[in-house]
Amino acid sequence: MSEQNAIIKVTGLSYRYPRRGVVLDSVDFALHAGERVALTGPNGAGKTTLLHLLVGLKKAKAGDIWAFGESRSEEKQFIDVRARAGFLFQDPDDQLFCPTVLEDVAFGPLNLGKSREEALKIASETLASLGMEGFEERITHQLSGGEKRMITLASVLAMEPEVLLLDEPSNALDSDARQRLIDTLLGLPQAMIIISHDPDFIAQLATREVRLEDAKLRAVNLTEPQRVTA
Amino acid sequence: MSEQNAIIKVTGLSYRYPRRGVVLDSVDFALHAGERVALTGPNGAGKTTLLHLLVGLKKAKAGDIWAFGESRSEEKQFIDVRARAGFLFQDPDDQLFCPTVLEDVAFGPLNLGKSREEALKIASETLASLGMEGFEERITHQLSGGEKRMITLASVLAMEPEVLLLDEPSNALDSDARQRLIDTLLGLPQAMIIISHDPDFIAQLATREVRLEDAKLRAVNLTEPQRVTA
Amino acid sequence: MHIVDGALALPVLATGAALTVAGVAIGLKKMDYDHLPQVGVLSAAFFIASYIHLPIGFSSVHLILNGLIGLALGWAAFPALLVALFLQAVFFGFGGFLVLGVNAVNIALPAVMVYYLCRHGISSPSPKVAATWGAIGGAGSIVITTVMVAFSLMLSGEAFLLAAKATFVAHIPVMVVEGFVTAAAVLLIRKVKPEFLGIDEERAYG
Amino acid sequence: MPQFLEHSGTSWKGQKVKHDQSLIDRLDPRLRVVLVTLFAFATVLSHNFIVLTVAVIAGFLLAILAQLNVKRTLRRVIAMDMFMIFLIILLPFTTPGETWFTLFGLSASKDGFLHALMILLKAHAVVLSLLALVGTISATTLGHALAHLRVPDKLVHLMLFTVRYLEVIGQEYKRMRRAMQARAFVLRTDMHTWRSIGYLIGMLLVHSLERSERIMDAMKCRGYKGQFYLFDDMRMGREDYRFIAIFVPFLCILTGLNFI
Ligand SMILES: Nc1ncnc2c1ncn2[C@@H]1O[C@H](COP(=O)(O)OP(=O)(O)OP(=O)(O)O)[C@@H](O)[C@H]1O
Ligand SMILES: Nc1ncnc2c1ncn2[C@@H]1O[C@H](COP(=O)(O)OP(=O)(O)OP(=O)(O)O)[C@@H](O)[C@H]1O
Ligand SMILES: [Mg+2]
Ligand SMILES: [Mg+2]
């Protein structure tokens, strides 16, 4: 049933919160190799919730999820999805919990069964590739907002994910940090889903836009030519 | 020594964090009636810190603060400042602490010595004036980002402050909520200081811009004509 | 670790209550109003920690963390832990009501002892030494707590002797886990926010 | 405690235990605290099976009167039973006395069995009455009731802060836990797990502490001067006196039964 070249594909996905009611109503979506899909929609539409469902952090009430060529429905099956999809959280503070930058970036590789030496090596290399060398021993908690964002991105990339799920990556960044983030993302080969409220950010990055509103997901026509940059 | 018509005025204000070092180095600043001053600067420059100093939530290492015609240096003197200045925090989650919206908005008036009936009446009226009627009984922490922002604004306005200090009020808002916020702020008579990383937001609101960088505060020349709207 | 109502003899209950009242009185005296948020956070953390389960082989244990709380609070651990235990008893039926005094002293007294024993060690300039003292504090507080629980039972009747011994044996894995977890937490906090553990900044940074 | 009970506490926000509105809710919170304390004393200090049986029945009645949510209450009572099951099973075999039956060559005494039964009755009577009378008060109201009952002001404020931060910490914990999961973290029995959980707890404390400081700041900005305001008054009403008129004589009878 799964499309041949879709990395992630969902059909009929629904979710409701106890008191809030339905936030996702039978949503269909597919992410293909090389795409950078912008996921937009008003506050509280359920964008973050959708990403959480994709990696099994919340359990869908109905619908099917295929990821990396297999159907996924149980916690066990999602462990593999999480190892292969890099999830950048909306709030970097939630994501950083090791004392130093290096340890935090090495946390993912360690969970994937790498030895300590290997994990630290991967971590240093990833930091270097993002132009963040010299931050290894910095205390995560004392970084500025922009630096935190870059470090969480490094810690996601260190797991060598096959796809990226980015939840409002440009929030609270100043203009320099924002541009650095855009350049980095444009240089990455992975397919990605990007949630954002920033039209210019989306215009520079996305190859395609979908909008979540009233619990329904629909495609947006990108009329402006500059939106397709890749 | 204090200027006649400055509502808030600081001279030689300095601050340092234990491990971070100096964030404010002998800063001078004055806010006059009717002004909407944009406070900009890179992440971690010390913008939030500056606002905290103005209302005495942190104690300046050096420098003088005048507010509402009096010199302020001790905790006792700042209690009055906080009652007359409305402070909107960077993170609305920090600011909403009552279970329901109505209770939260009524919290300030209660502290100002209003009776329960009066406080609840003021709260309902303020909510209505912001177009948020019907939210009275909603649970605060289940609101979406945009709704939280508007409620925190209501809870600040319910205290009928003489000046507003707004820390990144447009963060994480969708475009509708952002426009509603701009319209609301443009309609308010109070003088205000607005921290923001959003150039367009500043352009629509501010009458003047100051930039904090490398611990120094300097005025920015607003060349574009549309920046002066008031 | 919580003992339920009805198991202990009256003198044990009375002694526990008296010790707790004394401990809480000292704790309240050493704690000023500005300190309340910090103490409240740790009290809440203790509450939450008892819901964190870690696997041990085929079974699982939940964290207690009284060592860490003692290291951060000293005598203020008494009121903090009493409040957490009270809330658990009243709203979740965890532990009993009249044994609250005994339960509180069993958990809070080791916390205070660990504070005096390890406070110096965890502020050592060497992270290894600090971690070791953290581990001693974490494991040690559980050892003392378990011994005290065993004693409370034994003093209430000969028949509890076996149960008391069994309690001790059953908690050996908890001691190991708490040791490691507390050591890691201490390492993190002294890097990130040393003032939280009352560690002098200059010392922690050499 | 068994795994299935996990997390019921991390999402607790200081609201009263979920239940339908009942007669008990209309009683003065101070009265409820006092009565439950007296009841606990009467129960725990008794060694009489008739008294204890009546007490357990009274506990059940109170739970019904308070319209406690059955499933939730059952889960809590079972959780308590898990705590003492060990004690109860061992008692018959460790108490000396006439042999009642033997199991795997161990002899169980009747005295021990009776002792175990007594503990069971006492624990259940107290926990049921506690959940019914006090567990149905919201934590903030309970704090105020305790303040009226002369519990030191600092301790009451501490309790109110604790309740407020329970929510902050519980949410922060869940978010960070989820972020760890998203990076392929699975709980195992090894050093890596323990170190990571230690870091998690350390960071949780630091985050929560800083957030608590910011909340405090926000409260100060809105004129908070160290006093919590409550939207409820405590006054003894006619229903309270009626309840006293039934409950206090009942306690007297319960105590009296010990001596016949
Ligand atoms: N744990 C929860 N319980 C109840 N409602 C919730 C919970 N978490 C989220 N919600 C609600 O579900 C809706 C969707 O939330 P979600 O975080 O997915 O929105 P979002 O699209 O990411 O919004 P934003 O742009 O503000 O980040 C919101 O209305 C929110 O209030
Ligand atoms: N409690 C603290 N201890 C040590 N350093 C701190 C503390 N609070 C803030 N800092 C540091 O002080 C600097 C200024 O912080 P502040 O929050 O004022 O920045 P900001 O200009 O508001 O930045 P942003 O645009 O990211 O909100 C930052 O580098 C920050 O890391
Ligand atoms: Mg979101
Ligand atoms: Mg800021």
Pick the atom of ligand 2 nearest to B197's CA: 25
Q: How far is the CA of A47 from the centre of ligand 3 (A)?
A: 6
Residue B46 domain flag: yes
Cβ-defined contact of C191 to A139 (cutoff 8 Å): yes
Distance from CA of C57 to the nearest CA of A (A): 19
Contacts of A140 in chain C (CB under 8 A): 192
Confidence of residue A150 (pLDDT cuts 50, 70, 90): confident
Residue D125 domain flag: yes
Are residue D240 and residue D136 in the same domain, yes or no? yes
- The secondary structure of residue A100, as a DSSP letter, is B
Confidence of residue A124 (pLDDT cuts 50, 70, 90): very high
Q: Tell me, what amino acid is at A165?
A: L
By CB neighbour count within 10 A (0-12 exposed, 13-18 middle, 19+ buried), where does A42 fall?
A: buried
pLDDT of residue D232: 58
Residue A193 domain flag: yes
CB-CB: which of D172, D179, D184 is closest to A83?
Answer: D184
Pick the atom of ligand 1 nearest to A45's CA: 21
Residue D49 domain flag: yes
Residue B183 domain flag: yes
Contacts of B156 in chain D (CB under 8 A): 222
| Residue D19 scores a pLDDT above 70 | no
Between C203 and C33, residue with greater pLDDT: C33
CB-CB: which of A147, A173, A197 is closest to B174?
Answer: A197
pLDDT tens for the 230 residues of chain B, in order = 444 578 999 999 999 987 778 999 999 999 999 999 999 998 889 999 999 999 999 999 899 999 999 999 998 899 889 989 999 988 887 888 777 889 889 888 888 888 888 999 999 999 998 888 888 888 777 787 778 888 999 999 999 999 999 998 887 788 888 888 899 899 999 999 999 988 899 999 999 999 999 999 999 876 544 444 43
Of the candidates C99, C72, C73, C71, which has an alpha carbon nearest to the alpha carbon of residue C86?
A: C99
| Residue D172 scores a pLDDT above 90 | no
Distance from CA of A224 to the nearest CA of D (A): 35
A 10 A CB-CB count for C13 gives 23
pLDDT of residue C140: 96
Cβ-defined contact of A99 to C193 (cutoff 8 Å): no
Contact call for residues A164 and A188 (beta carbons, < 8 A): yes
pLDDT of residue D7: 43
pLDDT of residue B149: 86
Q: What's the whole-model pTM score?
A: 0.83
Tokens of C98: 């009249």
pLDDT of residue D3: 39
Mean pLDDT along residues D225-242: 74
Confidence of residue D16 (pLDDT cuts 50, 70, 90): low
Between A44 and A109, residue with greater pLDDT: A109
pLDDT of residue B142: 73
Q: How far is the CA of A44 from the centre of ligand 3 (A)?
A: 7
Residues C128-157 have pLDDT tens digits of 999 999 999 999 999 999 999 999 988 988
Tokens of B6: 């400055």
Residue D90 CA to residue C170 CA, distance in Å, equals: 14
Spell B92-111 as b/e; 16+ CB within 10 A means b.
bbbbbbbbebbbbbbbbbbb
The CB of B47 under 6 Å from ligand 2? The reply is yes
- Please give all residues whose beta carbon lies within 6 A of any atom in ligand 1, as ranges: A 17, 19-20, 23, 41, 43-49, 90; B 142, 144-145, 172
Mean pLDDT along residues C78-95: 91
Q: Any idea which of A17-21, A92-96, B39-43, B60-64 has the lowest mean pLDDT? A: A17-21
Are residue D247 and residue D126 in the same domain, yes or no? yes
Number of structural domains, chain D?
2
Averaged pLDDT of chain D: 83
Are residue D237 and residue D115 in the same domain, yes or no? yes
pLDDT of residue B226: 44
Measured CB to CB, residues of chain B less than 8 Å from chain A are 19-20, 41-44, 139, 142-147, 168, 171-177, 197, 199
| Residue D4 scores a pLDDT above 80 | no
Residue B198 domain flag: yes
Q: Any idea what the CATH number is for the domain that residue A194 is in?
A: 3.40.50.300
Contacts of C185 in chain A (CB under 8 A): none
Residue D82 domain flag: yes
For residue B152, how far is the Cα from the chain centroid?
Answer: 11
Are residue D73 and residue D190 in the same domain, yes or no? no
Q: Tell me, what amino acid is at D173?
A: Y
Residue B225 domain flag: no
- Sign, CA dihedral D141-D144-D148-D152, equals positive
Cβ-defined contact of D203 to A94 (cutoff 8 Å): no
Q: How far is the CA of B89 from the centre of ligand 4 (A)?
A: 9
Contacts of C195 in chain B (CB under 8 A): 18
pLDDT of residue D229: 61
Q: What angle do CA A113, A115, A121 make, to 5 degrees?
A: 115
Residue-level length of chain C: 206
Residue A39 pairs in a beta bridge with A195, A210
Nearest protein CA to atom 8 of ligand 2, as residue:
B17
pLDDT of residue C1: 66
C-alpha distances in angstroms, B101 versus A5, A19, B153, D209? 48, 16, 12, 24
Confidence of residue C7 (pLDDT cuts 50, 70, 90): confident
Residue A230 domain flag: no
Structural domain of residue D201, as residue ranges? 152-221
Contacts of A42 in chain B (CB under 8 A): 144, 146, 174, 176-177
| Residue C92 scores a pLDDT above 80 | yes
Of the candidates B52, B94, D156, D210, which has an alpha carbon nearest to the alpha carbon of residue C33?
A: D156
Are residue D247 and residue D119 in the same domain, yes or no? yes
Are residue D10 and residue D126 in the same domain, yes or no? yes
| Residue D20 scores a pLDDT above 50 | yes
Contacts of C193 in chain A (CB under 8 A): 141
Report ipTM for this prediction.
Answer: 0.81
Pick the atom of ligand 1 nearest to B144's CA: 31
Number of structural domains, chain A?
1
Structural domain of residue B24, as residue ranges? 3-220
Measured CB to CB, residues of chain A less than 8 Å from chain B are 19-20, 41-44, 142, 144-147, 168, 171-177, 197, 199
Residue B227 domain flag: no
pLDDT of residue B3: 47
Pick the atom of ligand 1 nearest to B174's CA: 25
Q: How far is the CA of B90 from the centre of ligand 4 (A)?
A: 6
Confidence of residue D14 (pLDDT cuts 50, 70, 90): low
A 10 A CB-CB count for C10 gives 11
Are residue D53 and residue D171 in the same domain, yes or no? no
Are residue D47 and residue D110 in the same domain, yes or no? yes
Pick the atom of ligand 2 nearest to A145's CA: 26
CB-CB: which of C51, C65, C90 is closest to D9?
Answer: C51
Confidence of residue D11 (pLDDT cuts 50, 70, 90): low
How many CA atoms within 13 Å lie on the side-chain side of B101? 24
Collect all residues with Cβ–Cβ distance below 8 Å to A165 and sequence separation of at least 6: A51, A54, A55, A85, A86, A87, A88, A192, A193
Residue A228 domain flag: no
| Residue A7 scores a pLDDT above 80 | yes
pLDDT of residue A226: 44
Are residue D91 and residue D136 in the same domain, yes or no? yes
Query: Rounded to a whole number, what is the distance in angstroms from the first to the last CA of chain B?
Result: 29
Mean pLDDT along residues A143-165: 89
Q: Are strands D99-103 and D106-109 parallel, antiparallel or unpaired?
A: antiparallel
Are residue D142 and residue D47 in the same domain, yes or no? yes
Nearest protein CA to atom 30 of ligand 2, as residue:
B44
Q: Which chains touch D (3 or more CB pairs under 8 A)?
A: A, B, C
Q: How far is the CA of B49 from the centre of ligand 4 (A)?
A: 7
Are residue D181 and residue D80 in the same domain, yes or no? no
Contact call for residues A198 and B199 (beta carbons, < 8 A): no
Region of residue C74 (left: phi > 0; alpha: psi -120 to 50; beta: else): left
| Residue A24 scores a pLDDT above 90 | yes
Q: What are the structural domains of chain C? A: 10-205 (1.10.1760.20)
pLDDT of residue C144: 96
Averaged pLDDT of chain A: 88
